[in-house]
Amino acid sequence: MADKNTKKTWDKSRMPSRHVTIDDYVVSTFNAGIGNTTLPLYIYSAIKFGVSPAINAISTIIVALTAVAIFLAWRFGRLSGAEPQSAGSADQAAAG
């Protein structure tokens, strides 16, 4: 079971993620134009009538590409020798 801090973190991350999702849909709606359909509009319109295998496949591809991009960023960050600084060490370096 997750501790209280993890639950608070999840709760606080839900609002911005919903906002970004709704914002993406609104921006896509206004920028699509007449007769054009963007991927967010296609997914939203297809989900209204039930989730089809095509939507599942698109979602799987998006999640997989995101996971690969995060892994590559993490891996190349480690190879370059860059070490993340904690907030305490950054404050100490600025003060000293």
DSSP per position, 14-59: HHHHHHHHHHHHHHHHHHH-TT---HHHHHHHHHTT---HHHHHHH
Residues 59 and 36 in one domain: no
Residues 65 and 22 in one domain: no
| In a domain? residue 91 | no
**Tens digit of pLDDT at every position of the chain (96 positions):** 557 777 777 777 776 766 666 666 777 777 777 777 777 778 777 888 888 888 888 889 989 999 999 999 888 887 666 565 665 555 555 555
Range of the domain at 61: 51-81
* pLDDT value of residue 6: 74
Residues 46 and 76 in one domain: no
Residues 18 and 44 in one domain: yes
Rounded Cα gap, residues 40 and 47, in angstroms: 11
| In a domain? residue 88 | no
